[in-house]
A and B are shown apart, each in its own frame.
Chain A
Amino acid sequence: MISFSPTEDQKMMQDSVAQFARATLRPRLREFEAARAIPEDVRKVAHEMGLGLVAVPEALGGAGLGLATAVLLEEELAWGDPAAAFGFGGPGALGFAAQELGTAAQCSQLLAPFAAADGYARFGAVAWGEPRALPERAGLLTVATERDGGWSLTGEKAYVTNADRADVFVVFAQVDPARGWGGLGAFLVKKDNPGLTLKPRATTLGLDVASFGAMTLSDVKVSREDRLQGPAASGSFDAALIRFFAKNALIMAARSVGLSRAAFEVTRDYCDTRVAFGKPIGHFQAVAFTLADRAMDVEAARALVWRAAWLWDSGAPDAEALRSTGYAVSFAHEAAMRCGDDGVQLHGGAGFMRDYPVEKLMRDAKQLQLCGMTAEQADQLAAAVELGRPLDPGAILPSAETQSAFV
């Protein structure tokens, strides 16, 4: 049966996260931005609420509440500050990577520390992106070579979210160079691995609370046990890889929904009160219709995100969930950009000033579009499903060959 009402439990969680967003995140968003981090007291609260492990199954040390609950809560957090969730302790993208690519044992071992009392101070990260494409072959320039019963990784990684905060990384590398994008492998690397050298943190247009970084790998030694092979039960490594990207991108899409709602609301309130030509500017059709269009964006993006999350939770076939996720991700990111852009526009000159939150929302919207998977890639994913084409990581996932994204 079609139903658009969260459960009572979900509503309670939603309310408490909304309260946290309203009382703590929104009032302090400029403080976080200046600090380029979320302070420890706020991270502690977020950790006590269990926000980093909502969608992780109970068997693997998470709350087991599913993606539907996760997207509800992510929307509320992003409404407060779209950047905040990037700066909370937790596994981040590594959580989904571990779930999709690791065995149950690898996953629970990896995620357990994040549930511990000091989890607010722990971060995970995924090193997927690279600074350049190789002219001579498809695939990643970082190469994994079998050596001494284990693996050695050498190459460069870029666009890594929380690179300088992470205790542990999932690093992607080329295992079989002859097979291009079909020959990838994933490896667990600890931050103290002697072959790993972090580059300085990047300064970005938006979401600077997240620490976007890069690294060099020079003979990074990884044991055989620390390779993530993809669960044998649910198809190939590539299929698991794409599921990981899709689920992580869906969380970003939920943040875009929260951002869109925030931009819409502050702009609506401004148009309700700002008077020009003798009446509130919202009473001019050109302004009101723009707001109406953005209100539709918020509602539609949320419905798409909910449906995609529900499909994953209800065990729908991958193709269905992937198509729906593709639609949700591209729609939500583009909607967020429209909400941010029109938000600044309707504020007029005031929108350009940092006294108002809307210029930050516009910058964050563009940055969010570059996190996880871009709208263009989400479109290629959905179209590949619809056209019955094989899901080729090289065509669908962010890469230096096509378009990079922060993961």
Chain B
Amino acid sequence: MTIEFTLTKRQEDTRAAIHNLAESIIRPQSLAWDRNHGIPHDFLQRIAALAGSLGSLSAAGDLVRQTDSPAEASGKEKKSLNVSTIVGAEELAWGDAGLLLCMPGPGLGGPPVRATGTPEQKERFFGIFKDLSQDIRWGAYALTEPGAGSDVAAIRTSCKKVGNDWVINGRKCYITNGARASWNVVFATIDPTLGRAGHRAFVVEKGTPGFSVGKIEDKMGLRASETAELVFEDCVVPAANLLGGEEAYHTKEGFMTAMKTFDNTRPIVAAMATGIGRAAYEYARDFVKAHYVMTRPIPRYAAIAERLARVGRQLDAARLMSFRAAWLADNGIPNAKEASMCKAMGGQAAIRACVEAIEICGAEGSIQADHQLLEKWFRDIKVYDIFEGTGQIQRIVISKRILTNLKSF
């Protein structure tokens, strides 16, 4: 072991491939997708095929592989899978974060299935993503409710065993790809007074009676990504779809395992934020190069240089923190604190980057036009300090790990 900051050749090649794709194909269409609230199906199909053929082309592609068949990855690759994933995630988000969220595959639904699913469930739910000649498909993760966001234990969606089935009632909101998903991992409770011990996770398949899609959200940013409300009205789910089977819930571990998946996904979200922030930073830097006569001793220029450096270093710090959290995961070292740290830093650093970039570019920075995506990045980035645990939730996670005997506030 040593301290080292080079990417492997494979990581570097993947990064370069995604970068080229982002520059030549993704970014030119980015604004159209944003305006049209979605990405054409055939484009997603083509990019999914490309991701599949290149293995780790995209972060989403990597997520599929990670949740589906990690055994196929070679030893060395497996050893750096989390780092590889965040390298890909940053680069694809640099291209278009909306596209990254639209990438076919199990998405955030993958980690809980992998962590708690029975072998039969893994086969059944991951199986549908294997055949690349088939139409593209999505999985999704449905936890948040209108009355339960950060306070996950407060979910009210109910589940009740009736005969050999479970009956689910309630509503889920802000679910990425929830409407198009072939299945959603849905969290419900047998008794709200039990808190987390009462939680159960189900894989609810599209077309299940009693399951319907409510509102599709109209958002500030990430408008190419589908954000859905899910409605469960006496929705009958077979017992075989209870994630992990009944035994998994005899202890508290069942739920905790589902939560632990955040330790792997938070660095990815942080890396996506860094990718958007870097896009904004580079835009502002290049704008300054092109528009300002930096050789003149105008006081504002030194101030602008300082602002750029400040943004650059915050992003750099956030990136290194994501690398560290991912590297810990790759080495089997607990990383909950570090994962939360990079998520908290990544979101804020990237928001600062977008805010500062617009200020540096002045009026022009706020104008929406083709090849002028800064205002879009500004809209896209804000939610990165909110979803996958708000900045405040990350600080709760960190606090519990740096203070003694702090169970809750």
A288 touching B409, Cβ below 8 Å: yes
Cβ–Cβ < 8 Å partners of B289 in chain A: 387-388
Once the chains are docked, how many angstroms separate the CA of A1 from the CA of B312? 23
Q: Is the CB of B317 within 8 A of A327?
A: yes
Q: Which residues of A contact B83 (CB under 8 A)?
A: 2
Q: Does A2 contact B5, Cβ atoms closer than 8 Å?
A: yes
- Bound-state CA distance A386–B83 (Å) is 26
Tell me if B409 and A284 are in contact (CB < 8 A). yes
Binary contact track B314-348/A, C-beta < 8 Å → 1, others 0: 10111011011011100000000110010011000
Partner of B80, one of A1, A306, A389: A1
- Residues on A with C-beta less than 8 A from B394 are 292
Given the known inter-chain contacts A272-B403, A310-B3, A380-B302, please indicate yes or no for A389 contacting B312, CB distance below 8 A.
Answer: no
Does chain B have a CB within 8 A of A300?
Answer: yes
Interface 9-residue window, one of B21-29, B117-125, B175-183, B303-311: B303-311
Give every chain A residue within 8 A of B406 (Cβ-Cβ).
Answer: 280, 282-283, 288
| CB–CB B3/A382 < 8 A | no
Contact check, A331 vs B403: say whether CB atoms are below 8 A apart: no
Q: Shortest distance in angstroms between B349's beta carbon and chain A's nearest beta carbon?
A: 9
Select the residue from A300, A307, A388 with max chain B CB neighbours within 10 A: A300
Q: Choose among A284, A296, A323, A386 the residue that contacts B341 (Cβ–Cβ < 8 A).
A: A296
* Closest residue of A by beta carbon distance from B320: A303
A7 beta carbon closer than 8 Å to chain B: yes
Q: How far is the CA of A272 from the CA of B321 in the complex (A)?
A: 26
A-contact bits for B380-409, CB 8 A (1 contact / 0 none): 000000000000101110110011111001
Quote the shortest CB–CB distance from B393 to chain A (angstroms).
Answer: 11
CA distance A376 to B310 in the complex (A): 10
Q: Are B288 and A387 in contact (CB under 8 A)?
A: yes
Q: How far is the CB of B345 from chain A (nearest CB, A)?
A: 6
Q: Which residues of B contact A304 (CB under 8 A)?
A: 313, 316-317, 320
Interface residues on B, range: 35 or more
**Would you call B4 and A331 a contact (CB within 8 A)?**
no
Chain A, residues 1-20, CB within 8 Å of chain B (1/0): the string is 11111111010000000000
A379 touches B310 (CB 8 A): yes
Kindly state the separation between the CA atoms of A367 and B361 in the bound complex, as whole angstroms: 35
Give Cα distance in the complex from A300 to B306, angstroms.
Answer: 19
Does any Cβ of B come within 8 Å of A162's Cβ?
no
Contact B6 A6 (CB under 8 A): no
B194 contacts which chain A residues (CB < 8 A)?
none
B310 touches A5 (CB 8 A): no
Q: Which residue of A lies closest to B309 (CB)?
A: A379
CB-based contact B338/A3 at 8 Å: no
Rounded to whole Å, the gap between the CB of A96 and the closest CB of chain B is 20
Given A376-B306, A379-B305, A387-B289, residue A310 in contact with residue B4 (CB < 8 A) = yes
Contact at B308–A383, with CB atoms within 8 Å?
yes
A323 and B313 alpha carbons, distance in the complex (Å): 9
Q: Tell me the nearest residue of chain B to A268, going by C-beta.
A: B402
| Chain B residues near A326 (CB-CB < 8 A) | 309, 313
Contact call A7/B313, Cβ cutoff below 8 A: no
Contact of A3 among B313, B327, B399, B403 (CB under 8 A): B327
> Which of A6, A327, A384 has the most chain B CB atoms closer than 10 A to its own CB?
A327
Contact (Cβ within 8 A) B5 A285: no
Top 8 closest pairs, chain A to chain B, by CB:
A383-B305, A379-B309, A5-B1, A327-B313, A288-B399, A303-B320, A292-B398, A300-B317
List the interface of chain B (C-beta within 8 A of A): 1-8, 80, 83, 285, 288-289, 294, 302, 305-306, 308-310, 312-314, 316-318, 320-321, 323-324, 326-328, 337-338, 341, 344-345, 392, 394-396, 398-399, 402-406, 409
Give 27 pairs: A residue, B residue, CB < 8 Å, sorted on A: A2-B4, A2-B326, A3-B3, A4-B3, A6-B2, A10-B3, A268-B402, A271-B403, A280-B404, A283-B409, A285-B409, A288-B396, A288-B406, A289-B395, A292-B344, A293-B395, A295-B337, A303-B320, A303-B321, A327-B312, A327-B313, A327-B316, A331-B314, A380-B302, A383-B312, A387-B305, A389-B294
